[in-house]
Every structure is written in structure tokens, then in C-alpha cells.
């Protein structure tokens, strides 16, 4: 599910897994091929959070913000969806960057399963789950973008 992303230009994408206490972060490479986890942002005041994310986006030359959209398994929006949308709207105003909302169902569960399989301690899991969820979110988006671009190229070739 994509909104606000009509182009498939090559630029860095910053993915955010927005929570009330922490924001998991991941960034793509310049070609939009890989996702790398960044240090999780410990939430403070919203104004401080927006400022830190704006500075990070500038430093990394970000072209798009990818924000995980928390949905119920049914696909319906949750209370957290509303909070996330409001946060993303404020972040878009702060950074002047386009925001893409991406279905994040199961990313945290997959991140926790992956960390459990690696034998990570409880403390390691707490520190890593948000970052890994952001990486999984970004990988999903980048894969979709690559597949969509390949489909468009196939249609124009044929």
C-alpha cells in the first residue's frame, strides 16, 4: 500500500517505525537497493523528535520518508495509525519531504522472531527490535519499488 509516491526516482529513503517510546530507523543506499538500520531514536518531546529527524534527513540527503502504517490484521486502521499519521504530517511539514505510508503489519513480529532465532538476549531484543522492524519495512518497500519499476519497463519494451 503506497500513498504519495508517484515516482520511482533514485534517492535515499528514511524508514521510520514510529512508537510512543522509540522510533526505529533504517536508511536506503543512494540506489535504493539496500536497507541499513540506524540507531533507534529514544522519544523525548515531539518537538525534539521532529528536530532530530529533520537533522538526520538533511545529513543523509533523504528524498523520501517511509513511515510504517500500523493496521489491524483486518486491514482497518488502529488508534496508533491515527497517531502515526499525525506525527508523519508534522514531520513532513518540518522536513518538507514527501511521506509514503507503508503497511507495517507483521514487521515487529517478524523482527522479534528473527531476534529470537538468533538467540539474542532480552536486553538485546529490546534494543534491536525497532531498528530491525524499520529495516524490514524498508526492504519491503524497496522490493515493491524495484518490482514496480521492472513491470513499467517491461510494459514499455513490449
* Nearest C-alpha neighbor of 129 from the set 108, 106, 145, 158: 108
Q: Is 19 exposed, middle or buried (0-12, 13-18, 19+ CB in 10 A)?
A: buried
pLDDT at position 122 over 70:
no
pLDDT tens by residue, 4-43: 444 445 589 999 999 999 999 999 999 989 999 999 999 9
User: Full-prediction pTM beyond 0.85?
Assistant: no
Q: Which residues pair with 16 in a beta bridge?
A: 25, 67
Q: Is the pLDDT of residue 135 over 70?
A: yes
Residue 142, number of CB atoms within 10 A of its CB: 20
Residue bearing cell 513490449 = 158
Sketch out the chain's domains with CATH numbers: 12-157 (3.30.420.140)
Determine the longest span between alpha carbons in the chain, in angstroms: 53
Q: Exposed/middle/buried for 94, CB within 10 Å: 0-12, 13-18, 19+?
A: middle
Amino acid at each position: 500500500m503506497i500513498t504519495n509516491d508517484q515516482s520511482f526516482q533514485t534517492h535515499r529513503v528514511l524508514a521510520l517505525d514510529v512508537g510512543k517510546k522509540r522510533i526505529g530507523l533504517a536508511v536506503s543506499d543512494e540506489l535504493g537497493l539496500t536497507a541499513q538500520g540506524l540507531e533507534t531514536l529514544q522519544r523525548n518531546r515531539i518537538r525534539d523528535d521532529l528536530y532530530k529527524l529533520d537533522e538526520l534527513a538533511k545529513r543523509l540527503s533523504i528524498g523520501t520518508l517511509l513511515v510504517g502504517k500500523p493496521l489491524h490484521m483486518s486491514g482497518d486502521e488502529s488508534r496508533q495509525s491515527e497517531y502515526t499519521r499525525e506525527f508523519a504530517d508534522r514531520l513532513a511539514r518540518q522536513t518538507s519531504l514527501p511521506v509514503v505510508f507503508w503497511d507495517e503489519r507483521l514487521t515487529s513480529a517478524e523482527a522479534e522472531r528473527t531476534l529470537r532465532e538468533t538467540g539474542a538476549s532480552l536486553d538485546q531484543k529490546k534494543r534491536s527490535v525497532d531498528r530491525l522492524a524499520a529495516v524490514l519495512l524498508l526492504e519491503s518497500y524497496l522490493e515493491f519499488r524495484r518490482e514496480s519499476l521492472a513491470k513499467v519497463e517491461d510494459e514499455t519494451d513490449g
